[in-house]
Structure 1
């Protein structure tokens, strides 16, 4: 088979790949030096759109509208942009073998791609219920959301099952965002999750109470403390019901599953040092193998602010780590200097007319402030602080203005001392103006 040689190869075609390509173009890359290899059929796009605007009943987002880098307010990189920059987009190509010592990648069709420097940006894949042996989990009408093809299939199902019953399995990011958008499409929605409240990795009980109440007011039914253990289907193999561990059975025309994922690192097993489920890197995203970098979801990196190794699954980190790796590569070639990655953890979500942001670390004692009563039926401004060892380490805010969100980010970065939790609760958002 044909063999192609590149100076730089980015493996993966998600958000990180697009932001890395932009950074290469900014710092200087010659035509033919850089290739992006992706198993998807389209140029890199802003993945968060898939669980939000892509599924809207009116004014839905479609490509080319959300190619990177519009998600951070930058120029939209259309497929022709890569052509103009001399960057080769190798799409619909799945890599099945990586030989890091030999600096080569092999595709499922036998093509070989050689490189001088590799950036691993393979991202994550979703956990499927069939992975856990759940009975009937292969039925038609059970959906997962990771790539644009998944979103297209879900759009088709939503349109075909207007007014039907949807069951969302999982109460995290995907569960909350998709429950909202399915409800906006007029489906009868039930969300099921095993935890005592939604989004337990981040939300406290007080935060979650608002969202659960708000969703209930919008017509989303919530069943907590149980899991899906099986699915019924009809003669055509289409899902008709979800069987729960607590004995209940829910009718279902559409099922969407969002129960987490895992980083795609299997190609590199035994070739790279790993830690905490990801590929271990330094503060420049260099791995244990020379000329190999790992960014985004797959990287376990030193989080300077907390002096520990972490793996972060979020679009903001995918963008910034990709840019950092390219700066480091160029610095190693004598093009300027690059500082250590100094990342402030940041998460956000939008659903219905709600929009929250979180910065920092969600450890220690918590203080809830503002009005978290969902009965008003409209967004209210409330938030939470996390305090550890006498310092504010994390901040969450619903319905903040851009300036207010900037202020809570500043708090999480500076970690100011907190002398009284009661006073902090009384001050609420005003605490930020004191810093």
Structure 2
């Protein structure tokens, strides 16, 4: 039986999509969407790309137009935040003091950015990039004469900011503590290709370098970055992109099971059957990771999990009449844009033991097929959207594609897509966390 009222904590991608999916499925109860960040729900991916460069105006980054929520009878409480959950009384309490009852609760609390634990991290001109307010501040600072920007962290957010700022004519240095960029997210060859593109565009990329301190002027504005060993880099702005942490404070206080995220089952239910978790904050068992619990940071994961939870809350989501919703089995996929390179990833590639490259790496149009024990587990593609789309379908239905087949002259993924499906792929990935 569907609950009489659903409260969704978090008005980001996962939260908004959950509310929208409930109404699309015909849910008749009350839907309350609570988000602490004014002015309202926004699309995050453009914040490090088109929004910074001015190509995407502010009006275009709203997840839904303001009238959508009223038209769908969704109570949007923006600018307020949930401070506690009372599981016994089935209520949440907001910062404003308002108490909202629920029949089912969906946690879509997302993540918070890591900060640098070094002296000077609070200087003016040092920021992270997570929400609209961060992006507006950075956009304002980049709107003018060339500045000296230091990006700390060569992950997706860091490299996207670097590409955007360099495209605006600013002097950019990227500092990464690991021996290579995107060490957790990409194969070495693909990561090297992205770094080569940045360097060719004039970005300094310093690998295997850690930040010792940030130094400011007499007005407490950042003016230089000190590396371990004493080297200093002049900086007018510093953007810290060293990853995020799942926001589990509410779940922890409510004594839900937590561990690198809010732990849920295959139907995204927490240790309390009336509470679900979706999106960046949820740690769930994935068939694409051998059934192990993982946490993913992507628009796709947030959107698909929202649909899964909406199906569960509306009753029988798999159509077999047993009243039990279908488990979450969506194929993970991710994307990033840097300069003229559009990177797309299908599947989870972190645990691969063999790769095969198809296409021309130098021209920037190629795909890397990743295998584990001879089985395809993921495909990374640059400027080859057809490969990406087919790879997603093959990973969803199963494929017997082997490395030797991909190596054959004239290999064409389109031909493989026409073959009958095999069994669903399984890998031995322990954990993968990716943000795009």
Q: Which runs of 5+ in 2 are unaligned?
A: 418-436
State the SS of the aligned residue for 1:412.
helix
Instruction: Pick closer, same or farther for the CA change 1:371–1:240 going to 2, 3 Å.
Output: farther
1:83 aligned to which of 62, 70, 73: 70
Verify the 8 A CA contact 1:30 1:86 in the aligned structure 2: no
Deviations 1:233-288 (A, max 9, x none): 11111100011113210000111110001111111215344354121222221111
CA distance, structure 2, for counterparts of residue 115 and residue 414 of structure 1: 37
Work out which of the residue numbers 373, 393, 413 in structure 2 matches 1:389: 373
1:315 corresponds to 2:299: yes
Q: What's the offset of the Cα at 1:88?
A: 1.1
Does the CA contact (< 8 Å) of 2:316 and 2:325 recur in 1? no
Q: How far off is 1:335 after superposition?
A: 11
How far apart, CA to CA, are the structure 2 residues paired with 1:428 and 1:137? 53
The 10-residue stretch of structure 1 (363-372 or 353-362) with the greater mean CA deviation from structure 2: 363-372
Equivalent residues in 2 for 1:416-427, closer than 5 Å: 416-417=399-400, 419=402, 421=403, 424-427=406-409
* 1:199 counterpart residue number: 182
Q: Distance in 1 between matches of 2:298 and 2:401?
A: 29
Equivalence for 1:66: 61
Q: CA deviation at 1:332?
A: 6.5
TM-score, with length taken from structure 2: 0.88
Deviation at 1:42, TM superposition (A): 2.6
- Segments ≥4 residues shifted beyond 4 Å: 332-337, 371-374, 426-429
Aligned position for 1:27: 25
Post-superposition shift, 1:364?
Answer: 2.5
CA 1:275 to 1:430, structure 2 compared with 1: closer, same or farther past 3 Å? farther
Partner SS, residue 397 of structure 1: strand
Secondary structure of 1:34's match?
Answer: strand
Counterparts of 1:422 and 1:246 in 2: how far apart (Å)?
A: 47
Q: Tell me if 1:100 matches 2:87.
A: yes
Structure 1: gaps (5+ residues): 1-5, 69-76
**Helix, strand or coil: the match of 1:274?**
coil
Q: Given the alignment of the two structures, is residue 47 of structure 1 paired with residue 44 of structure 2, yes or no?
A: yes
For each residue in 1:164-217, what CA deviation from the matched residue of structure 2 results, as whole angstroms up to 9, or x when unmatched? Answer: 110000000111111000101110000010112111112222112211111111
Question: Is the CA contact 2:248–2:258 (under 8 Å) kept in the aligned structure 1?
Answer: no
Q: Does 2:337 align with 1:350?
A: yes
Tell me by how many angstroms 1:108 deviates: 2.4
Query: 2:34 corresponds to which residue?
Result: 37
Q: 1:304 to 1:373 in 2, by over 3 A?
A: closer
Residue aligning to 1:366 = 354
- The TM-score, its normalising length taken from structure 1, stands at 0.88
1:153 partnered with 2:148: no
From the superposition, tell whether residues 428 and 175 of structure 1 become closer, same or farther in structure 2 (CA, over 3 Å): farther
Distance 1:429 1:175, change over 3 A: farther
Pairing 1:82-231 to 2, within 5 Å after superposition: 82-129=69-116, 132=117, 134-160=118-144, 162-231=145-214
Q: Distance in 2 between matches of 1:179 and 1:354?
A: 14
Match of 1:3 in 2: none
Whole-angstrom CA distance in 2 between matches of 1:225 and 1:360: 28
Whole-angstrom distance in 1 between the partners of 2:193 and 2:316: 49
Q: State the alpha-carbon separation in 1 of the partners of residues 407 and 336 from structure 2.
A: 24
- Give me the whole-angstrom Cα distance separating, in 1, the residues matched to 2:278 and 2:231: 43
Cα offset for 1:338? 3.3
Map Cα deviations across residues 77-112 of structure 1 (whole Å, 9 max, x no partner). 211111122211111102222222222222223222
Counterpart position of 1:247: 230
Q: Secondary structure at the match of 1:434?
A: helix
d(CA) in 2 for partners of 1:269, 1:183:
41
Structure 1 CA distance for aligned equivalents of residues 134 and 102 of structure 2: 31
Does the CA contact (< 8 Å) of 1:387 and 1:393 recur in 2? yes
Alignment of 1:231-242 (within 5 A): 231-242=214-225
Q: 1:326 aligns with which of 302, 307, 310?
A: 310
1:287 is aligned to 2:270? yes
Q: Which moved more, 1:235-244 or 1:334-343?
A: 334-343
Superposed displacement of residue 221, structure 1: 0.7
Count of residue pairs the alignment pairs up: 409
Whole-angstrom distance in 1 between the partners of 2:73 and 2:263: 31
Deviates most, 215-224 or 266-275: 266-275
Q: C-alpha displacement at 1:394, in angstroms? A: 1.3
* C-alpha distance in 1 between matches for 2:316 and 2:7: 16
CA distance in 1, matches of 2:331, 2:298: 12
What's 2:384 paired with? 400
In 2, the alpha carbon distance for the partners of 1:344 and 1:368 equals 21
Shifted more, 232-241 versus 21-30: the winner is 21-30
**SS at structure 2 position matched to 1:201:** coil
Q: Residues 272 and 171 (structure 1 numbering): CA distance in 2 closer, same or farther, change over 3 Å?
A: same
